Amino acid sequence: MSEIKSLDGRVIKINMANFDDTCDMKDIIEATLAETGLDLDSLELGKESLADMDIDFILKPILKITSNKEFRKILFKCLERSSIDGEKITRDTFESVENRGEYYPIVLECLKVNILPFFAPLLSRFIDLKGLLKGVGSQEQK
């Protein structure tokens, strides 16, 4: 579970979705990214921070993903266990103009809670491997 604050101070709780819905979300994201021509193999995973990345590199895939109707369907399935000040997050939540500014922060938090756990072990192994490789060839021969 993750807890963030809305722009007006309300408590937004994002809970992990069930495994099948999370897998469906991951699959839609991967398919949509493939459609954009984003080559995941060419990503520089060693970048120090998102600030080093071009804003278009970050925004274009997010906008492409969130404009996908299948993604929106699965997003709301994944948000069934989540709430704003105790009220379930549904499509109707965003009918209110005041809540529309919360859409992307909620989407990003939902992705973080549901999708990141798939990749965290992989990324930690990559970082460990990168640390090991950093020392290769740099030690003085005796």
Question: What is the rounded (10 degree) CA torsion for 105, 5, 87, 79?
Answer: 30
pLDDT tens for 20-65 read 999 999 999 888 888 876 655 555 544 444 455 566 666 777 888 8
DSSP secondary structure code for residue 64 in this structure: H
Q: Is the pLDDT of residue 139 over 80?
A: no
Q: Is the pTM higher than 0.85?
A: no
| Nearest-angstrom CA–CA distance, 29 and 83 | 23
Q: Is the pLDDT of residue 138 over 70?
A: no
